[in-house]
Amino acid sequence: MSRKAIFWFSLWTSAFSALFYFFYNFLPFGVGWMMFVCLGVFFGMGLKPKDTPALLLSSYCGIAWGLFDFLLISLFARMGMNGQASTFLSIVIGTTITMCIHLGPLGNTPLRHMPIIFAGVCLTFSQNGKNILGLVVTFAFGLALCAVCFAGQAVFVKKFPLEQQEPAG
């Protein structure tokens, strides 16, 4: 990416991030910072706006798996395990099941995006298994922001192509 494209893409992303965050703060959920997690996953995976619906579905799977982990923790605690042991065992079991399902039978479906599934699990833990509606809405906001930022990137890369450098002689 050229320096001009980087500058304008950065400004575009910053302005839209601030705009999304501004409007998000009128909602009662209080986890707007999650949108920036979405940006990291989206751009880190090298995705495109057409991938947004699949990412959203995968993120919702992550929320469900996070809740499943909490269910396992509770079950193991009721069986007499201490907090560390029940958490350890639930993470091993829950993560193994999640990965086997999403990388195996669901590996060629829209539910295959493990990085955002892990983000969903982590962000569910950040809310202690609560604020589920907030997680659902914020993932939608965050992934919409990703699509808008990508659109800006595409425009600026095309408008300001990488300059060809002269070979050193």
pLDDT value at residue 163? 75
Reported as a pLDDT band with limits 50, 70 and 90, residue 158 is very high
Interval 79-92 mean pLDDT: 96
Per-residue b or e along 17-45, where b marks 16 or more CB atoms closer than 10 Å to that residue's CB = beebeeebeeeebebbebbebbbebbeee
Share of the chain above pLDDT 70, in %: 96
Q: What is the model's pTM? A: 0.88
Domain ranges of the chain: 3-28+56-159
**Which residues, including other chains, have CB under 8 Å from residue 5's CB and lie 6 or more apart?**
153, 156, 157, 159, 160, 161, 162
Chain segment 69-81, per-residue pLDDT in tens = 999 999 999 999 9
Cα gap 69→83, rounded to integer Å: 13
* 8 Å CB contact between 142 and 2: no
Q: Output the pLDDT for position 168.
A: 62
CA distance 92 to 72: 11
